[in-house]
Structure 1
């Protein structure tokens, strides 16, 4: 067997071939070196081992180990840098105490008609009878003598005209007087009125200072029912004139009935909330009636959000003026 073929077999079997090396300059035997096996401990060189030829065959490829499939990587949404980053954000309004007050029993005024029902607009004009030209005293006298709605005028103790600052920035509009309001002649004096006072205090306001309060109706409906469309239409000229005289910067509609009649719409309260409406060019914010909040105290937080929206609207108007 020639040397080249033997080296090939040895390499295939993994046997290393050793070649004797000598110092340069010493007498070198230039004849081809004999392959050396591993030297024993005694130092004697064993006889050369002739390897048995190994027939090389195709080595089967190893079976790949299955790798568990990994879940696809979730690509993070691109981050958009807000232009306001780095600026100092205005402080959040502090939550007022009335948000956490325990609920009261039902108020004396409780609308009984289901939400979204009872609104009807036959496109008839509201009676004016010269109301749009009256001053405050003339308007109050006209309301006190009103008999447009015979059922209401016969059942009332007195009319409930309105109360507050006649040059106010805020005008709150309720639905109709309750039993206590009918006795005292002032809107929101029952338990719902106490909650409204707490809401005003959270705004830094109080009755008679920067706030005017009125109702859609000036008379109490019997049995605490909702105002009928005809009754609301008969009183509309009085409310319109009050708004003209006060000239508020913001209107806050308290409850579904007030909002639907003020905005001439049949939309539900949930649809009207959460955005700024307009009434004759005046911004309108719709929120819950205080009597409803007494029965559903968990909704107070939403009412506070509505009031904050109204504050933002006034502030935006002041900055733009």
Structure 2
């Protein structure tokens, strides 16, 4: 099936599923169905809920600007969230909400088949690196070290430690970075966020070399 049609079918399935938690607008995701890079956050915010688009608020503007600064076009990547609807008062997604949306994110990733997944923030990072089912995580690229390291699943995964690396989580290449909202709150995180973004082309090249 054509990727665009497959994504539309998946979106309609989600709209038809009245048992999914949260009853705000479904913010499915946007970008190229042939993307090499898939950006995944945790959940939509108020602006995203209003516009029914991912990452269009202040933090989203930072994300999109950083994407353009790499010479990439927004329409060449894909942007989405783990949970596709806004939690009340912008609270963190609950474990049961993440689990409810998990099958749909899994299928979305299978359809898109990106070369790398860039996780935005700790919830998205832990979704991939903190799950025992994903088995071994291999640190394939590091901003701070040249030695290749290995680790089993990371129940104590920490965004401050693990951002800027490239991991092999199951069969997915995952590159964690700070959430742009966190970067806007702290100058040190902003510096690390931008540095990690600048390394994404190197990470993409690394993945190409290993395939």
TM range (shorter): 0.7 to 0.9
Alignment: residue pair count: 183
What does 1:1-321 align with in structure 2 at a 5 Å threshold?
Answer: 135-150=6-21, 152-153=22-23, 156=24, 158-209=25-76, 211-263=77-129, 264=131, 265-321=155-211
More strand by share: 2
CA apart distance, 1:207: 1.6
Q: Distance in 2 between matches of 1:216 and 1:296?
A: 24
Could you tell me which runs of 5 or more consecutive residues in structure 2 were left unpaired when the two chains were aligned.
Answer: 132-154
Question: 2:116–2:175: 8 Å Cα contact kept in structure 1?
Answer: yes
- Mapped to 1, the partners of 2:82 and 2:19 lie a distance apart of 14
- Is the 2:20–2:101 Cα contact (8 Å) retained in structure 1? no
Q: Is the 8 A contact 1:252 1:285 kept in 2?
A: yes
Residue 213 (structure 1) shift: 0.3
Taking structure 2 as the reference length, the TM-score comes to 0.80
Write out per-residue CA displacement over residues 33-84 of structure 1, whole angstroms, 9 at most, x where no aligned residue. Answer: xxxxxxxxxxxxxxxxxxxxxxxxxxxxxxxxxxxxxxxxxxxxxxxxxxxx
Partner Cα distance (1:235, 1:266) in 2: 23
Aligned-pair RMSD on alpha carbons?
Answer: 1.7
Q: Deviations over 1:225-258 (max 9, x none)?
A: 1001110010011111111111111110000111
Q: Is the 8 A contact 2:180 2:193 kept in 1?
A: no
- SS of residue paired to 2:63: helix
For residues 116-168 of structure 1, the C-alpha deviation after alignment (integer angstroms, 9 at most, x for no partner) is xxxxxxxxxxxxxxxxxx92121010122233344x12xx1x10000000110
Q: Deviations over 1:276-313 (max 9, x none)?
A: 21233221111111111111133222112222333212
Higher helix share: 2
CA contact (8 A) 1:143 1:218 kept: no
TM normalised by structure 1 equals: 0.54
Name which one, 1 or 2, has greater alpha-carbon Rg: 1
Q: Post-superposition shift, 1:318? A: 2.8
Q: CA–CA distance in 1 between the matches of 2:210 and 2:98? A: 35
Q: CA deviation at 1:272?
A: 2.4
Moved >3 Å (runs of 4+): none
Q: Tell me, in whole angstroms, the C-alpha distance in 1 between the residues paired with 2:175 and 2:113.
A: 16
Looking at structure 1, the residues matched to 126 and 198 of structure 2 have their Cα atoms a distance apart, in angstroms, of 21
Structure 1, residues 85-133: CA drift from partner, whole Å, max 9, x if none?
Answer: xxxxxxxxxxxxxxxxxxxxxxxxxxxxxxxxxxxxxxxxxxxxxxxxx
Unpaired runs of at least 5, structure 1 = 1-133
Alpha-carbon distance in structure 1 between the residues aligned to 2:85 and 2:102 = 12
